[in-house]
């Protein structure tokens, strides 16, 4: 389906990183983009640069989200907003669980509930869920993040069932490590996070994720690209650990 068949988009987590790049890419294609994020100043700068429509809304605020979506007809929904706290569920506190569930999973469910029925009624639409390789693979730490992203992974597949018979496409994009500020946002120390996770690595850029969105959007209407896993060439997920009983830490 060519870009010209879509008129409007809503992108969450739009003020930086992958969300910002996706907004820029869609605006370049002539789409009217509603850019949603908490940071008002960054949104204002993005709007001035791209022409997007800024909405300073916290996606975990259901009342605000509902009011935002009430009168919108959205052709492209990009669920990009997300946050992560490191650590095992064994030592996670209440806030670590609640904030990630609210932003990473609950907001996605509600945005689909609010906007996808309109796509079905119009027989036109495309939903992008930006998850993570953490939705598919397991690695140390970040237990709640894994669980919430796996939930959106399952939802992405289920949405295709729910929209069966209509020209509403669902694409899940699962990035590995990307050169964004997410690591600094997690730790609060952006300089150290950049040294540890970004500097010296050959990584995809936020623009590469935006290009994946554009690729899936530009496919013919008969083509649904269900899942894109995008990682650095020099990164591989997975692994296997086996322990002897005597090796356990007491």
Q: Which residue has 């590469």 as its token pair?
A: 208
Considering the candidates 6, 137, 145, 164, report the single residue annotated as catalytic: 145
Ordered domains of the chain (ranges, CATH): 3-247 (3.40.50.720)
- The two tokens of residue 4 are 């010209």
Q: What is the pTM of this model?
A: 0.93
CA-closest candidate to residue 157, choices 147, 172, 173 = 172
What is the DSSP-derived secondary structure letter of residue 147?
H
Phi/psi region, residue 165 (left: phi>0; alpha: psi -120 to 50; beta: rest), is: left
| Residue 145 falls in the annotated catalytic set | yes
Contact at 8 Å (CB) between 27 and 50? Answer: yes
> What's the pLDDT tens digit per position in 3-44?
678 999 999 999 999 999 999 999 999 999 999 999 999 999
Instruction: Give the 3-state secondary structure of residue 97.
Output: helix
Contact at 8 Å (CB) between 23 and 31? Answer: no
- The two tokens of residue 213 are 């969105």
CA-closest candidate to residue 196, choices 179, 214, 211, 215 = 179
> What's the pLDDT tens digit per position in 193-229?
788 878 888 999 999 999 999 999 999 999 999 999 9
């Amino acid at each position: 389906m060519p870009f010209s068949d879509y008129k409007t988009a809503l992108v969450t987590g739009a003020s930086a990183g992958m969300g910002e790049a996706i907004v820029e890419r869609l605006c370049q294609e002539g789409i009217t983009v509603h850019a949603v994020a908490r940071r008002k100043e960054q949104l204002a700068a993005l709007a001035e640069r791209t022409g997007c429509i800024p909405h300073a809304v916290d996606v975990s605020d259901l009342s605000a989200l509902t009011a935002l979506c009430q009168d919108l007809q959205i052709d492209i929904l990009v669920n990009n907003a997300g946050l992560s706290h490191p650590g095992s569920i064994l030592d996670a506190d209440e806030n670590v669980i609640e904030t990630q569930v609210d932003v990473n999973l609950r907001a996605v469910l509600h945005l689909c509930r609010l906007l996808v029925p309109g796509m079905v009624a119009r027989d036109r639409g495309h939903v992008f869920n930006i998850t993570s390789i953490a939705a598919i693979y397991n690695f140390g730490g970040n237990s709640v993040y894994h669980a919430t992203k796996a939930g959106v992974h399952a939802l992405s597949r289920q949405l295709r069932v729910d929209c069966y018979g209509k020209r509403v496409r669902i694409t899940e994009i699962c990035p590995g490590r990307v050169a964004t500020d997410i690591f600094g946002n997690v730790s609060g120390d952006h300089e150290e996070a950049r040294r540890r996770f970004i500097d010296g690595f050959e990584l995809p850029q936020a623009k590469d994720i935006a290009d994946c969105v554009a690729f899936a959007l530009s496919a013919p209407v008969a083509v649904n690209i269900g899942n894109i896993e995008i990682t650095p060439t020099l990164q591989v997920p997975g692994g296997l650990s086996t322990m002897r009983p005597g090796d356990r830490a007491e």
